[in-house]
Chain A
C-alpha cells in the first residue's frame, strides 16, 4: 500500500447513502458509500468551516419549468452542507448552482479485499 494510502475501515462499516467521518492523522475526512464504490472529501466546508460529515447525501433537482414535477438526478453523489445548504458534487468537489466559486477537496478511494483505502495525496 502506498504511503499516502490509509485504511479507514471495513466495507461493512459503511451504509450506502450515509456519511462517515474518519480521521487520517489529524485530517478529518467524510466518506460516502455509493453502491459498491466510495467517495471521500475533506470534512470541512470551504464556506464557513462546517463539518460536512454532519450533512446529508442526496441528489440535485433536474432542470424543469415551474409546475413540472421536481425530480432528483445523481442521487448519492451530492453532499448537502449541514449549515448553509451548499451542495457539493462528491465526484468533482465543486459546488452546484453556485454564483460564486467554492470547492471541497476530494480524495481517491479504492476497495482492497473488504477494506476501504483512502489516498490523501
Chain B
C-alpha cells in the first residue's frame, strides 16, 4: 500500500465552545468559502491510497464511484456548465482549475473542501472503511498540498462509528483538516447513541462536525420517494430539521459540551420556526428528556451554525433581513459558494444589499474565522 501519511506538521489546536459574542473581524481574512466540492474523477484516483487487495477488488468488480444521490440532477453531475476542466474530466476534479475558476477571481482567502463521496453508501464495511481512509489521504495529497488556501473535511463511515473515531484522530493531526463531514440523510438520526464515537472524537480533536446536504439510507422524505429532483433538493430541509432536533433532544450537547456543529447547504430560513416549535413542545414534553437543562433553542444558538448557500431568496429582501434578526445570533451564518455546483452563490451577489456592513463582514469571513479557529491554526 502506498498511503502517504497526512501531514502531521500541521498540528491541530483545540477550539473553544462557541462564544456568541466572539468576533472574527479584524483578522485580515475578508472572504472564506465554507463549502466547496472536490471529487475524484474515477475510482482509479483512489488507487494510490488503497491496498492491493482493494485495488484488485475494485478493478475486478468494475465498481464505480459511490454517489450520494438517486436523481438525475438536470445539470450533469450537478455542476455549473462552465465548470468542466480543460482536461475533459468532471467538474471539481482538478485543483488547479478550481483554483483558477474560484479562488483567484473571487480573491477567496480560505475555502473548505467537502468531498461528496458516498462512503457510507458502500455496504461492505471493510471496503467502506478503506475508502474512508483513502479519501482523506487523497484530500491531503491531491488537494491540500496543491494550494495553501484549501482546507479539508474528514470523511467517515457512519456504519462503523468506532473506526470513524480512529480515523478522525489520525487525520486531525493535520490541521489543514478543519471539520468532520457527515451527510444529512443518514440511516438514523445522528443524535442516537450509536453515533457518539464520531462526535466524541471530533470534540476531542477540537473539530466541529459539518452536516452536509445529501446522503441516503432510506426513502428521502418521511412520506416516501418524490418524483423529481426539485422535490429532492427542496425537501432536504426536512432531513436537516430531523438532525437538529435529534442532536438537541438526545442531549448530545450536554454529553459533549464543547461540541460544535455546522449545517452545510441546508439553508437557514427554517431555523427560527424550528426553534419556536421545539421550545413550545419542550414546555409540555420536557420530562421525556430530563438531561436538557435549558430551552432547545439555547442549545441551537450555542452549538450550531449554518452556511448560507443555497440562500433563501424571498421576493422582498427585507424579509430575509427579518429572518436574520429572528436567528438572534449574528455569528450564526457563514458564507459558502457550493462551487462547482449549478446552484453556486456568487460572493458579490448572494447577500442582499440591505444586510448591514458589520453583519455582512461577519457572514463573509468573520464567523467562519471564529468558528474554525483559522487564526489559531
A50 to B106: give the CA distance in the assembly, Å.
59
Give the chain B neighbours of A98 by CB distance below 8 A: 283
- The residue in B250, B282, B290 that gathers the most chain A C-beta atoms within 10 A of its C-beta is B290
Q: Which of A9-17, A56-64, A108-116 contacts B (4 or more CB under 8 A)?
A: A56-64
Is residue B285 within 8 Å, beta carbon to beta carbon, of the partner chain?
yes
Q: B297–A62 contact, CB under 8 A?
A: no
Q: A99–B251 contact, CB under 8 A?
A: no
Tell which of B193, B255, B283, B290 touches A99, judged by Cβ atoms closer than 8 Å: B283
Tell which of A61, A65, A84 touches B254, judged by Cβ atoms closer than 8 Å: A65
A interface majority secondary structure: loop
A48 to B363: give the CA distance in the assembly, Å.
40
State how many residues of chain B have any CB contact under 8 Å with chain A: 19
Is residue B279 within 8 Å, beta carbon to beta carbon, of the partner chain?
yes
The smallest beta-carbon distance between A82 and chain B, in angstroms, is 11
A84-B251 CB under 8 A given contacts A63-B290, A64-B291: no
Is residue A32 within 8 Å, beta carbon to beta carbon, of the partner chain?
no
A66-B284 CB under 8 A given contacts A99-B279, A99-B297: no
Is residue A95 within 8 Å, beta carbon to beta carbon, of the partner chain?
yes
Q: A66–B297 contact, CB under 8 A?
A: no
A63-B255 CB under 8 A given contacts A85-B283, A86-B284, A95-B283: no
Q: A84–B290 contact, CB under 8 A?
A: no
CB-CB nearest in chain B for A96: B286
Is residue A81 within 8 Å, beta carbon to beta carbon, of the partner chain?
yes
Is residue A97 within 8 Å, beta carbon to beta carbon, of the partner chain?
yes
A99 to B283: give the CA distance in the assembly, Å.
7
Is residue A49 within 8 Å, beta carbon to beta carbon, of the partner chain?
no
For chain A residues 24-73, which have a beta carbon within 8 Å of chain B?
60-68, 70
CB-CB nearest in chain A for B276: A99
The smallest beta-carbon distance between B135 and chain A, in angstroms, is 31
Give the chain A neighbours of B297 by CB distance below 8 A: 99
Give the chain A neighbours of B123 by CB distance below 8 A: none
The smallest beta-carbon distance between A61 and chain B, in angstroms, is 4
A66 to B247: give the CA distance in the assembly, Å.
12
State the A residues within 8 Å of B (CB).
Answer: 60-68, 70, 81, 84-87, 95-100, 102
State the B residues within 8 Å of A (CB).
Answer: 193, 250-251, 254-255, 279, 282-287, 290-295, 297
10 new A-B contacts at CB < 8 Å, known A64-B291, A86-B283: A60-B287, A61-B290, A65-B251, A65-B291, A67-B193, A68-B291, A70-B287, A85-B284, A99-B282, A99-B283
Leading 7 A-B pairs by shortest Cβ distance: A85-B284, A99-B295, A61-B290, A97-B286, A66-B251, A84-B284, A99-B279
Contacts A/B (CB < 8 Å), 26 sampled? A60-B287, A62-B290, A63-B291, A64-B291, A65-B254, A65-B255, A65-B291, A66-B250, A66-B254, A66-B255, A66-B291, A67-B193, A68-B291, A70-B287, A84-B283, A85-B283, A85-B284, A85-B285, A86-B284, A87-B284, A87-B286, A96-B286, A98-B283, A99-B295, A99-B297, A100-B283
